[in-house]
Amino acid sequence: MNVRYRVELSQAERDELTGMLGGGKHAARKLKRAQILLAADAGSCDAEIVRTVRVSLSTVGRTKRRFVEGNLERALSEEPRPGAERKLTGKEEALLVATACAKPPAGRKRWTLTLLADAMVKLTDHDSLSGETVRRRLAENDLKPWRKDMWCIPHVDGEYVARMEDVLDLYAEAPDPERPLVCFDETPVQLIGEVRQPIPAQPGQRERYDYEYRRNGTVNLFVTFDPHRGWRNVKVTDRRAAVDYAHCMRELVDVHYPDAPCIRVVQDNLSIHTAGALYQAFAPAEARRILRRLEFHYTPKHASWLNMVECEISVLQRQCLGRRIDDPKRLRTEIAAWQRQRNKTRDRIKWMFTTDKARAKLGRAYPVAAKDSKPL
């Protein structure tokens, strides 16, 4: 045993190290040092610690020395390691960040590490600069100029706000059997078949399927969701046309809600989501009969996230459709099984966004009323 660096822990230090090894998230090196200190405190020699903890003799000696000369915190922590000086000065790093945030050179769609390194050589006195140096400096500033994110930035005007608050107020209302609320939307599904039979999973091996597949066309899903009842209905059609939409509305009125005087439908601004679609599918008297019992509420443009059925479609995709299904008949069978289970448990969506929260979070985006506007 190294007498010079004799480890004697206090009870509080033993408890701290024991608790560290008992649970929690800690670096592997820190846990090794804790084991070394506990073993040394228990009287184990260095050779025995090397064998049981599986570390080098120098690691044991260094850990004990740092505890004796310092304290427990120093023994467990990492010491600063020597390394090469930073190649870029503070001003040069700022220049690198500014360059990475600017437009790439002509003829290039994005910056790469090589392009940035070459640009910095031209802009500074460095003879050369490695891509790794550039990568590290960009990583410190959380920059990845070769990556882009795409999203839709809506134009928030008075019409946007009016439609948003109209839909949010509908969600906040108490359920009314006389005026049920349903959310409606559609989504396409690709029918994809296997070229080769997948290999089932077994212990130690995941299920495997061939990268090659066969396209069998597409179908459309019309999805209806009642957020108050926790009820949903998915209809598989060969196409997404105004006539198909009209038939969904008639089923909503005559089959799903035959006793409701008024059915409020939340939907987006797709071209077929109009009253005119029913006149394309039915005689005027029939179209008028159906429309008398429907009340359409439209989400703002580029705000499909306000339609609660989008959440249900996402669940359908994750739980049922995220696999290869090549036959419409099988697709209908699988969706029907999923639908029965969801309706049996009456799964609902916990909607948290309200009109008050919209005004608090999006207040700056709300249109500003004219100062000189006065009531008549």
53, 76, 99: which is the final residue of a domain?
76
Both 339 and 233 in one domain: the answer is yes
Question: Domain check: are 172 and 62 in the same one?
Answer: no
- CA 15 – CA 18 distance, rounded (Å): 5
Q: Does any domain span residue 115?
A: yes
The pTM of this model reads 0.65
Q: What proportions of the chain, in percent to the nearest 5, are helix, strand and coil?
A: 45, 15, 40
Residue 190 main-chain phi, psi, to 5 deg: -85, 135
* Residues 33 and 118 grouped into a single domain: no
| Same domain assignment for residues 191 and 50 | no
More confident residue, 235 or 71: 235
Please indicate, yes or no, whether residues 233 and 279 belong to a single structural domain of this protein: yes
Do residues 318 and 237 both lie within one domain? yes
pLDDT, tens digit (0-9, with 9 covering 90-100), for 165-222: 999 999 999 999 999 999 999 999 999 999 999 999 999 899 998 989 999 999 999 9
Other CB atoms within 10 A of residue 174 CB: 5
Mean pLDDT for all residues in the chain: 90
Q: Does the residue 2 lie in any domain?
A: no
355: CATH: 3.30.420.10
* pLDDT level of residue 2 (50, 70, 90 thresholds): very low
Residue 150 in any domain: the answer is no
Out of 98, 113, 140, pick the residue that ends a domain: 140
Q: b/e map of 266-304 (b: 16 or more CB within 10 Å)?
A: bbbebebbbeebbbebbeeeebeebeebbeebbbbeebb
* 132 within a domain of the structure (yes/no): yes
pLDDT of the residue at 1: 43
Could you tell me if 94 and 28 lie in one domain? no
Overall number of domains in the chain: 3
Positive or negative, the CA dihedral 312, 315, 319, 322 is: positive
Q: Taking Cα atoms as reference points, which of 50, 59, 58, 61 lies closest to residue 3?
A: 61
Domain contains 33: yes
Which pLDDT tens digit goes with each residue over 27-62?
A: 888 899 999 999 998 888 898 999 999 999 989 988
Q: How confident is the model at residue 277 (pLDDT cuts 50, 70, 90)?
A: very high
Asked whether residue 248 is assigned to any structural domain, the reply reads yes
Please tell me whether residues 128 and 162 are part of one structural domain.
Answer: no
Of the residues 76, 102, 117, the one at which a domain ends:
76
For residue 178, what are the domain limits?
158-195+212-359
- Over residues 319-340, the mean pLDDT reads 95
Q: Is the pLDDT of residue 248 over 80?
A: yes
pLDDT confidence band for 272 (50 / 70 / 90)? very high
Confidence band for 375, pLDDT divided at 50, 70 and 90: low
Q: CA separation (Å) from 204 to 57, 199, 201, 210?
A: 37, 13, 8, 19
Cα gap 130→326, rounded to integer Å: 50
| pLDDT in the model for residue 83 | 66
Does residue 69 surpass a pLDDT of 90?
no
Same-domain status, 182 and 130? no
- SS3 for 363? helix
Q: Which residues of 313-342 are buried (b: 16+ CB within 10 A; e: fewer)?
A: beebeeebbeeebbebeebeeebeebbeeb
127 domain residue, yes or no: yes
Shared-domain flag, residues 191 and 239: yes
Bridge partners for 273 per DSSP: none
Shared domain check, 249 and 136: no
Residue 344 domain-assigned (yes or no): yes
pLDDT the model gives residue 86: 81
Residues 166 and 57 in one domain: no
DSSP 8-state assignment for residue 249:
H
Q: Are the C-beta atoms of residues 232 and 226 closer than 8 Å to each other?
A: yes
Question: What whole-number distance in Å separates Cα of residue 295 and Cα of residue 274?
Answer: 11
Can you tell me the mean pLDDT for 360-369? 78
